[in-house]
Amino acid sequence: MIIKPAKRTDSLHPYYFSIKNPEVAAISKDRVERGLSPVINMGIGAPDGMPPAEAIQALCESAQQKDSHKYQNYFGLPELRQAYADWYKRYYKVDLDPVSEIQPLVGSKEGILMICLTFLNEGDKVLMPDPGYPTYTSATALAQAGVVTYQLKQELGWQPDFDELEKMDLSGVKLMWVNYPNMPTGAPATRELYSKLVAFAKKHCIMVVNDNPYSFILNKEPLSILETEGAKDCCIELNSLSKAHNMSGWRLGMVAGDADSIREIRKVKSQMDSGMFKPLQLAAIQALNAGPEWFEALNAEYAARKEYVWKLFDLIGAKYEKDAQGLFVWGKVSEDNPYAQGGDPTKTLGERVSDKLLYEKGVFITPGFIFGHGGDNYVRASLCAPIPMIEKAIDLIKL
């Protein structure tokens, strides 16, 4: 390399699954060559079901139209922004102005970086949950801001400890990342929690960013922080079609908030892309129009799978909470766990259990350390595998 990379990349590491998935694939290939079954991968939360049929039809029909292949509006089709607004009104009871308070995104993951680039200066600080989604930390580093970690504790239902937050040095803190229903723990959102977050944000002049892609998964009452009185003054929310509509590869997300915040985010976004492919936008409109029966069928399947993942966790001695929501089961392992014995003592308990299952049994579940030190003694299994595959994983572990 003829030049040095930017200093802002010094603290970055490749995203865990960008390294682990090729390793899992190589192990799987080797197992097959040795006459064994391939690895059962229950690591990442990539839904395996089909999107709504109407969305696929809209994509195909629009892709055959001549005008579909031009540059599109930087801010999304007006019809798409209206569909997002209708979706929020119908399911979250939140009124959003489709013109000024909604911005479609190429997946909500890009929104995480855009929010950081929009609102953070070098040296600013960000409140970061531990355990939490690692991209929040990476995006903060790219914006050259600092991380102030706040712990999520199982005994508090994986919610912030507001007494501890009040004792922390919050000088220079501009943003706070929250994610409910929580990933990786599955802790549900509550109106009481959102009210506390809004009050905390207003008291300390901090913008709360709620990342909300799991609100429909194993949950009969989706909640948005924007439903809370006064939330638009201090909160913005990311959302996505990835999980709730089986469209993770389509990269369809959005950010909602007050008009001033959305206007500033649009300034950054307009420099980074030239609009979303029109057929994708038209497909998103159809997906957003899905009725309650879509979510009922989706959750019936995930509820059935969850019971089998519980059996797997019982088998490996991981303790879990049955009222968790979202696409994962989060389980705690102890020092005496048999699957943690004999592994690399420098690794966390969760990683040792994960390693043993992968290398010896051909089953991959995610070690919790990737979400922060609060996940060191945990493992996470995805519900994005059909029941026969989970049964096969159980059989492999029993061998």
Contact 188, 225 (CB under 8 A): no
**What is the band of 54 on the pLDDT scale with cuts at 50, 70, 90?**
very high
Q: For residue 257, what is the domain's CATH number?
A: 3.40.640.10
pLDDT above 90: residue 63 = yes
List of residues 6+ apart from 37 with CB closer than 8 A: 31, 362, 392, 396
pLDDT above 90: residue 342 = no
129 and 167 part of one domain: yes
Q: Left, alpha or beta for 246 (phi > 0: left; psi -120 to 50: alpha)? A: left
pLDDT above 90: residue 371 = yes
pLDDT at 9: 86
| Domain limit, last residue, from 290, 319, 342 | 290
- pTM here is 0.95
**CA nearest to 131, candidates 113, 147, 145, 151:** 151
155 in a structural domain? yes
Domain that holds residue 357: 7-49+293-398
Split into its structural domains, the chain has a count of 2
332 and 286 part of one domain: no
pLDDT above 90: residue 13 = no
pLDDT above 90: residue 12 = no
pLDDT at 375: 97
375 and 243 part of one domain: no
**Average pLDDT score over the chain:** 96
For residue 267, what are its two tokens?
């300034």
pLDDT of 182-228, one tens digit each?
A: 999 999 999 999 999 999 999 999 999 999 999 999 999 999 999 99
190 and 324 part of one domain: no
pLDDT above 90: residue 171 = yes
**What is the band of 7 on the pLDDT scale with cuts at 50, 70, 90?**
confident
38 in a structural domain? yes
Task: Please count the helices (runs of H) and the strands (runs of E) in the chain.
Answer: 12, 12
pLDDT above 90: residue 293 = yes
74 and 223 part of one domain: yes
Taking the C-alpha atoms of residue 271 and residue 273, their distance in angstroms, rounded to an integer, is: 6
| Domain limit, last residue, from 290, 315, 341 | 290
267 and 351 part of one domain: no
List of residues 6+ apart from 208 with CB closer than 8 A: 175, 176, 178, 197, 198, 200, 201, 225, 234, 235, 236
Strand 235-240 versus strand 253-256 pairing type: antiparallel
Cite the DSSP H helix spans in the chain.
16-33, 53-63, 78-87, 108-119, 134-142, 162-167, 191-204, 259-269, 278-288, 292-316, 349-356, 387-398
**What is the band of 94 on the pLDDT scale with cuts at 50, 70, 90?**
very high
62 in a structural domain? no
63 in a structural domain? no
- Angle subtended by helix axes 278-288 and 53-63, to nearest 10: 160
| Domain limit, last residue, from 241, 256, 290 | 290
Once rounded to an integer, what is the mean pLDDT over residues 362-379?
97
275 in a structural domain? yes
Q: Which residues pair with residue 239 across a beta bridge?
A: 254
pLDDT above 90: residue 276 = yes
pLDDT of 224-261, one tens digit each?
A: 999 999 999 999 999 999 999 999 999 999 999 999 99
pLDDT at 11: 83
CA distances, 391 to each of 7, 266, 326, 385 (Å): 47, 47, 21, 10
pLDDT of 321-334, one tens digit each?
A: 999 999 999 999 99
Percent of the chain topping pLDDT 70: 100
263 and 304 part of one domain: no
pLDDT at 349: 96
pLDDT at 10: 84
| Per-residue DSSP letter, 282 | H
Residue 330 phi, psi dihedral angles, 5° rounding = -110, 120
For the chain, give the longest Cα–Cα distance.
64
pLDDT of 99-133, one tens digit each?
A: 999 999 999 999 999 999 999 999 999 999 999 99
143 and 254 part of one domain: yes
Once rounded to an integer, what is the mean pLDDT over residues 161-178?
98
230 and 84 part of one domain: yes
Once rounded to an integer, what is the mean pLDDT over residues 272-277?
92
Burial of 20 (0-12, 13-18, 19+ CB in 10 A): buried
**What is the band of 78 on the pLDDT scale with cuts at 50, 70, 90?**
very high
